[in-house]
Amino acid sequence: MEHLLVSHWYKNTRYEIQSINGTEYIVPCEYGSVYDPINSENEMMTDALNLGKYLTENDLGQNGMVLDFVHEYGLLGIMPDIAGSDIGKNERVIVRDNIFTDSGMVDVNEFAKRFFPLDNIDLLDKANKKGKLRLYYRSPIYSTMFLRKYRYCEPLEWVKKYFKHLYSFTISKESKLTEFIPPRLTYKIDNRNGLNLLCEYDSLKAMIDLAFAKAVTDDKKPLRTCKHCGKLFYATDIRSEFCSARCRNQYNVYKSRAKHN
Angle at 121 between CA 149 and CA 6, to 5 degrees: 60
Do 243 and 229 meet the contact criterion of CB atoms below 8 Å apart? yes
Tell me the range of 66-70, 110-114, 115-119, 123-127 where mean pLDDT is highest.
66-70
Pairwise CA distance, residues 133 & 158, whole Å: 27
Give the closest residue to 127 by CA, choosing from 149, 111, 153.
Answer: 149
What pLDDT sits at residue 25? 98
Strand partners, 92: 107
Do 32 and 13 meet the contact criterion of CB atoms below 8 Å apart? yes
DSSP secondary structure, 143-154, as one string:
HHHH-TTS---E
* 0.85 exceeded by pTM: yes
Distance in angstroms between the alpha carbons of the first and the last residue of the chain? 53
CA dihedral over 13, 16, 18, 24, signed as positive or negative:
positive
Spatial strand order in the sheet of 23-35: 9-20, 23-35, 154-155
pLDDT tens column, 125-181: 654 454 444 444 556 677 777 777 789 999 999 999 999 999 999 999 988 999 999
Phi, psi (rounded to 5 degrees) for 246: -60, -45
- Other CB atoms within 10 A of residue 166 CB: 21
Sorted by sequence, the CB contacts under 8 Å of residue 62 that are 6+ apart come out as 54, 55, 160
Domain definitions of the chain by residue range: 4-217, 220-261
